[in-house]
Amino acid sequence: MDQEPKPADIRFLPTNGLEVPDWNPRKTMSEPGLAALEAYVKAGGTIPRIWVWGGDGKSVISGQRRLTVYRRLGKLLIEAEILHVSLEEAQRLARSSNRGDTLNWLEEYESWEGYFQPGSKLTDEAIGALEGVGADWIGRARALLAVLNPASRKLIRESLAEISTDEGAKNKGNNDGSEVFGNIKKPLKKRISKSEKKRGLLEDTAFPLTSLWNKRSIQEAQTLAEKALPVILVREMKGHQVKALVKWVSAGNDPEEFGKLGVRSEGFGKLGIKSEELGVKTEKKAKPEIATSPNAPIGAAPRIYESAPYVKEHGSLISGVFWCCLLHPGLARVIYSPSTAA
C-alpha cells in the first residue's frame, strides 16, 4: 500500500527569529533587486512562502531575500513551510533552490563544502553525480577552498558583491529552475554572467593559488594566499599573472613588491617570470625631436632646438618658396635680387 503524503506544515513565523545558515549558498544579494522586490511587496504584491528547516525551526532553506525585504518593511511575521527533512537533504534543497538565480563561483563551491568534511567516504565522482556536475569541478572546488581561509573568502565576496543580477525582483524572490555545470573541458568563465566577467575575481584567475599548498602546510598556504589576494584584486590580475605572483611569493618574496618599479629584476628572471606577467602598466614617454650640430664636439650631449615663432607660423609658405626656387632658378634670382632685397 502506498504511503499517503503528509500534509504541508505551513505557519507564520516571526521574522526576527529566523536566520540564514552557513550552509545556505546565497551569501550575496543584489541591492537593486532587493529594492525592486521591496517596492513590489509594498505595493501589495504577493510572494511565495519561504522554506524553513524543521530540524531547528529557524534555518532558512529558501527565501532569504524575501525575509530581508519583510524585515526592511517592518513586517513581524512571514509565511513559511516547515520541511521536516534531514540536514543533508536541507542542504541539498538549499543548493538546488538557489540555482535559479546564478550563484557566483565561490558560493557554488562553498555549497559543496559539506561533502569535504573529514571522514566522508564520497568520491569526487559520487559528489559530482549528486550535484549534476563533472568530477573535475568537485576537485577544483576542494583544492581552492582549502587554501582560502575566512579572511580570503571575505575579500573575494566583496569583489563579487556587485555582480549579482536583478532576477530576484523579476521572479518575486522565488528561486526555481536549475543550472547544470558542464564538462570540465568547457571553461568555467563561459558559465558566468557577463557582469561577472567585467568585474570581480574569476575562478580560473584564483585557481593558481592552489599551488601555494605544494610542500607547505595548509596553514602556511592560507596565510600566503591571504597576503597575495589584495595585490591580485587591486591590480586586476589575470590568470597568467597570478601564476607568476605565486612563483614570486613561493620564493619568499613580499607580494606587495611584485613587479614594482625599482625592485631589482634579477629575481624575476631566475624564477622564469616574464615582464608581461608582472601586472604593472607603464606609460611610454614621447621622445622629443632633437637635432645635433654637425660641428658638435665628439661626446657632446645632443641639443634640442626650438623653432622660431615665425617658422612655426609660416612653415608651409617657406617650404613652398624653397621648392619653387629649387625647380626654377630664374625665380630665385628675381626673389633674391638686390632691388628686391632693398
For CATH 3.90.1530.10, list the domain ranges present in the chain. Answer: 7-101
pLDDT for the residue 5: 64
User: Mean pLDDT in each 10-residue stretch from start to end of the chain (342 residues)?
Assistant: 70 94 78 84 87 93 90 94 90 74 79 83 83 87 95 90 49 40 43 46 92 92 95 92 92 87 48 50 50 52 52 56 60 54 46
The count of C-alpha atoms lying within 13 angstroms of the C-alpha of 264, restricted to the half-sphere facing its C-beta, is 4
Q: Give 340's strand partners.
A: none
Q: Pull the grid cell for residue 79.
A: 509565511
3.30.450.20, 3.90.1530.10, 3.40.630.30, 3.40.50.11290: CATH of 7-101: 3.90.1530.10
Rounded to whole angstroms, the Cα distance separating 14 from 67 reads: 10
d(CA 303, CA 222): 57
pLDDT on residue 28: 72
Q: In this structure, are residues 62 and 98 in contact, taking their beta carbons and an 8 Å threshold?
A: yes
- This prediction has a pTM of 0.52
Q: 266, 232 in Cβ contact below 8 A?
A: no
Those residues whose C-beta lies under 8 Å from the C-beta of residue 249, and which sit 6 or more positions away, are: 212, 224, 227, 228, 255, 258
